[in-house]
Amino acid sequence: KNEVEQSPQNLTAQEGEFITINCSYSVGISALHWLQQHPGGGIVSLFMLSSGKKKHGRLIATINIQEKHSSLHITASHPRDSAVYICAVKGNQFYFGTGTSLTVIP
């Protein structure tokens, strides 16, 4: 049973494209995190959300609590954005999605 589902699993985009990664969850949560995992394995926290929308540079994250859904958008994608993007939620414990592998081609 997957408490967190992400789509798509894999995504290839041309540089400059607008990208959306989706996350749906099935448990009650107090917060949702978007993480970036680099090809070398390191993990970086991008956003923590409990409601609404957050923006940081070219990254935008939104959450709809009623629909149990969040999206991560990347505007003007760049090859350095190539990574695995992971959605994680804090329910009665911390649950992770399987990640979306993004490749941005120059």
Query: Applying CB under 8 A, which residues contact other proteins?
Result: 30-31, 33, 35, 37, 41-45, 48, 86, 88, 90, 92-99
Q: Which is nearer to other proteins, 77 or 100 (CB)?
A: 100
Q: How far is the CB of 93 from other proteins (least distance, A)?
A: 5
Q: How far is the CB of 5 from other proteins (least distance, A)?
A: 11
Report whether 51 contacts 97 (CB < 8 A). Answer: no
Q: Which is nearer to other proteins, 72 or 77 (CB)?
A: 72
Q: How far apart are CA 74 and CA 59, in angstroms?
A: 5
Other C-beta atoms lying within 10 Å of the C-beta of residue 46: 17
Q: Which is nearer to other proteins, 9 or 16 (CB)?
A: 9
Q: CA angle, 103 as apex, 78 and 50 as ends, to 5°?
A: 80
Q: Which is nearer to other proteins, 29 or 104 (CB)?
A: 29
Q: How far apart are CA 105 and CA 15, in angstroms?
A: 6
Query: Which of 54, 44, 31 has its CA nearest to residue 86?
Result: 44
Q: How far is the CB of 82 from other proteins (least distance, A)?
A: 18
